[in-house]
Structure 1
Amino acid sequence: MEPPSAELSWVSDARVAGFETFAGDPAVDARLDVFAAAHVSVVVIDSDLSFYMTDARFEESAAYIEAVAKKCHERGMKAVAYCSLLEALTENAASVPNTMWKDHPDWVQRGIDGKANKFVGGAGRAFWVPAGTESAWLCPTSGYRDYFINRVKRLAQTSLDGLWGDVPLLSDIVGVWPCTNASCAAKFLAETGLAQPTRVDWNNPVFRRWVAWRHGVIHEFEQAVLAGARTVRPDFQLIVETDTMDHSGGTVQGLDGASRDDGDVLRVWEVSTASDETGMREAPADDWISMAIMMRHGRGCAGKNPSWVISYGKETDDAERVMAIAIAGGVRPYESQIPLLNNTVGDAWRGKMYGWLKDNNDIWAGESANPVAVIFSSVSRDFIDRNAGGGLYTSTNRADEDWWATTPTDSAKNLPYLGEYRGICKALIHAHAPYDVVTMPHLSPAWLAPYPVVVAPRPAALSDGEIASLKSYVEAGGTLLVTGGTDAGLFDEHGVLRAQPALLQAFGVSAGANWSRTSYGLGAVVLVTEQVGQTYYQTTDASVTTELARILEAAGRTIVTDAPPAVVIDLRQRTEHRLDVLFANIDGLDTGGFTAESASFQVAIPCGGKMPRRVTVTQPGDAAPAEIPFTHEGGRAVFDVTVGALLLARIALT
Structure 2
Amino acid sequence: MELRWISDARAAGLETYVDDPDVDARLDVLAAAHVSVVVIDSDLSFYLTERRFEEHAVFIDAVAKKCHQRGMKAVAYYPMLEVLTEKAPKRRHTMGKDHPDWVQRGVDGKANVFVGGGRVFWVPKRTESAWLCPTTAYRDYFINRVKRLAQTALDGLWGDVPLLSDIVGVWPCTNATCAAKFLAETGLAQPTSVDWNNPVFRRWVAWRHGVIHEFEQAVLSGARTVRPDFLLIVETGTMDHSNATSQGHDGASRDDGDVLRAWEVDCASDATGMRQAPADDWISMAIMMRHGRGCAGKNPSWAITYGKQTDDAERVMAIAIAGGQRPYESQIPLLSRTVGDAWRRKMYGWLKENSDIWAGDSANPVAVIFSSVSRDFVDRNAGTGLYTSTNPADEDWWATRRKDSAKTLPYLGEYRGICKALIHAHAPYDVVTTPHLSPERLAPYPVVAAPRPAALSDGEIASLKSYVKAGGTLLVTGATDAGVFDENGALRSQPALLQAFGISAGANWARTSHGHGAVVLVTEQVGQKYYQTDDAAVTTALAEILKANGRTIVTNAPPAVVIDLRQRTEHRLDVLFANIDGLDTGGFNAQSASFTVAIPCGGKTPRRVTITQPGDSAPAEIPFTHEDGRAVFEITVAALLLVRIAVT
Tell me the SS of whatever aligns to 1:333. Answer: strand
Please point out which of 401, 419, 422 is paired with 1:425.
Answer: 419
Please point out which of 320, 326, 329 is paired with 1:335.
Answer: 329
Please point out which of 197, 201, 225 is paired with 1:207.
Answer: 201
Please point out which of 514, 518, 531 is paired with 2:525.
Answer: 531
Please point out which of 581, 585, 588 is paired with 2:575.
Answer: 581
Letter aligned with residue 203 of structure 2: R
Q: Which residue in 1 is equivalent to 2:102?
A: 107
- Aligned partners of 1:111 and 1:497: how far apart in 2? 26
Please point out which of 211, 214, 217 is paired with 1:220.
Answer: 214
Tell me the SS of whatever aligns to 2:221. Answer: helix
CA-to-aligned-CA distance 1:166-198 (integer Å, 9 cap, x gap): 000100000110000011000000000000000
Alpha carbons 2:350, 2:614 under 8 Å: kept: yes
CA-to-aligned-CA distance 1:88-137 (integer Å, 9 cap, x gap): 11111122221111111110000001111101111x11110111111100
- Aligned partners of 1:291 and 1:66: how far apart in 2? 36
Q: Which residue in 2 is equivalent to 1:60?
A: 55
Matched, 1:10 2:21: no
Q: Which residue in 1 is equivalent to 2:395?
A: 401
Q: Structure 1 residue 555: deviation in Å? A: 1.3
Please point out which of 282, 285, 295 is paired with 1:301.
Answer: 295
Q: Which residue in 2 is equivalent to 1:629?
A: 623
Matched, 1:32 2:18: no
Matched, 1:49 2:44: yes
Unmatched tracts of structure 2, length 5 or more = none
Tell me the SS of whatever aligns to 1:94. Answer: helix
Matched, 1:186 2:186: no
Q: Which residue in 2 is equivalent to 1:650?
A: 644
CA-to-aligned-CA distance 1:319-360 (integer Å, 9 cap, x gap): 000000000000000000011111100000000000000000
Q: Structure 1 residue 591: deviation in Å? A: 6.0
Q: Which residue in 2 is equivalent to 1:357?
A: 351
Q: Which residue in 1 is equivalent to 2:146?
A: 152
Q: Structure 1 residue 52: deviation in Å? A: 1.0
Unmatched tracts of structure 1, length 5 or more = 1-6
- Aligned partners of 2:3 and 2:263: how far apart in 1? 20
Q: Which residue in 1 is equivalent to 2:274?
A: 280
Q: Which residue in 1 is equivalent to 2:93?
A: 98
Letter aligned with residue 638 of structure 1: V
Q: Structure 1 residue 592: deviation in Å? A: 2.6
Tell me the SS of whatever aligns to 2:4. Answer: coil
- Aligned partners of 1:26 and 1:335: how far apart in 2? 24
Matched, 1:117 2:105: no
Please point out which of 513, 519, 522 is paired with 2:516.
Answer: 522
Letter aligned with residue 557 of structure 1: R
- Aligned partners of 1:95 and 1:309: how far apart in 2? 39
- Aligned partners of 1:643 and 1:480: how far apart in 2? 33
Alpha carbons 2:366, 2:429 under 8 Å: kept: yes
- Aligned partners of 1:134 and 1:92: how far apart in 2? 8
Alignment of 1:255-294 (within 5 A): 255-294=249-288
Please point out which of 454, 469, 474 is paired with 1:475.
Answer: 469
Tell me the SS of whatever aligns to 2:71. Answer: coil
Tell me the SS of whatever aligns to 1:11. Answer: helix
Please point out which of 3, 10, 14 is paired with 1:19.
Answer: 14
- After superposition, the CA RMSD in angstroms is 0.7
Tell me the SS of whatever aligns to 1:245. Answer: coil
Q: Structure 1 residue 632: deviation in Å? A: 0.4
Please point out which of 83, 95, 111 is paired with 1:88.
Answer: 83
Alpha carbons 1:46, 1:82 under 8 Å: kept: yes
Q: Which residue in 2 is equivalent to 1:640?
A: 634
Matched, 1:513 2:507: yes
CA-to-aligned-CA distance 1:133-159 (integer Å, 9 cap, x gap): 111000011000001000000000000
CA-to-aligned-CA distance 1:364-396 (integer Å, 9 cap, x gap): 000000000000000000000000001000000
Matched, 1:488 2:482: yes
Q: Structure 1 residue 19: deviation in Å? A: 1.6
Q: Structure 1 residue 8: deviation in Å? A: 6.4
Letter aligned with residue 258 of structure 1: A
Q: Structure 1 residue 25: deviation in Å? A: 1.0
Alpha carbons 1:308, 1:332 under 8 Å: kept: yes
Are residues 235 and 8 of structure 1, via their aligned partners in 2, closer, same or farther at CA, if it must alter by over 3 Å? closer
Q: Which residue in 2 is equivalent to 1:4?
A: none
- Aligned partners of 1:510 and 1:308: how far apart in 2? 41
Alpha carbons 1:617, 1:628 under 8 Å: kept: yes
Alpha carbons 1:218, 1:255 under 8 Å: kept: yes
Letter aligned with residue 10 of structure 1: W
Please point out which of 66, 73, 76 is paired with 2:71.
Answer: 76
Letter aligned with residue 50 of structure 1: S
- Aligned partners of 2:20 and 2:3: how far apart in 1? 33
Please point out which of 245, 253, 262 is paired with 1:251.
Answer: 245
Alpha carbons 1:329, 1:570 under 8 Å: kept: yes
- Aligned partners of 1:46 and 1:8: how far apart in 2? 23
Q: 312-321 or 582-591, which moves further after superposition? A: 582-591
CA-to-aligned-CA distance 1:535-579 (integer Å, 9 cap, x gap): 000000001101111111111111000000000000000011000
Please point out which of 169, 178, 187 is paired with 1:175.
Answer: 169
Alpha carbons 2:277, 2:585 under 8 Å: kept: no
- Aligned partners of 1:272 and 1:92: how far apart in 2? 29
Letter aligned with residue 609 of structure 2: V
Q: Which residue in 1 is equivalent to 2:191?
A: 197
Q: Structure 1 residue 226: deviation in Å? A: 0.2
- Aligned partners of 1:586 and 1:57: how far apart in 2? 47
Matched, 1:135 2:129: yes
Alpha carbons 1:8, 1:365 under 8 Å: kept: no
Letter aligned with residue 424 of structure 1: I
- Aligned partners of 2:56 and 2:86: how far apart in 1? 16
- Aligned partners of 1:210 and 1:250: how far apart in 2? 14
Tell me the SS of whatever aligns to 2:178. Answer: helix
- Aligned partners of 1:591 and 1:88: how far apart in 2? 38
Alpha carbons 1:202, 1:383 under 8 Å: kept: yes
- Aligned partners of 2:108 and 2:585: how far apart in 1? 45
Letter aligned with residue 337 of structure 2: N
Please point out which of 475, 491, 497 is paired with 1:497.
Answer: 491
Alpha carbons 1:385, 1:417 under 8 Å: kept: yes
- Aligned partners of 1:590 and 1:17: how far apart in 2? 28
- Aligned partners of 2:176 and 2:87: how far apart in 1? 29
Q: Which residue in 2 is equivalent to 1:378?
A: 372
Alpha carbons 2:276, 2:585 under 8 Å: kept: no
Corresponding pairs, count: 647
Alpha carbons 2:103, 2:132 under 8 Å: kept: yes
Tell me the SS of whatever aligns to 1:487. Answer: coil
Matched-pair identity in %: 84
Tell me the SS of whatever aligns to 1:592. Answer: coil
Matched, 1:611 2:610: no
- Aligned partners of 2:377 and 2:539: how far apart in 1? 28
- Aligned partners of 1:515 and 1:70: how far apart in 2? 59
Q: Structure 1 stretches (4+) deviating beyond 6 angstroms? A: none
Given the two structures, how large is their TM-score scaled by the length of structure 1?
0.98
- Aligned partners of 1:73 and 1:156: how far apart in 2? 16
- Aligned partners of 2:119 and 2:514: how far apart in 1? 55
- Aligned partners of 1:599 and 1:130: how far apart in 2? 44
Alpha carbons 1:393, 1:411 under 8 Å: kept: yes
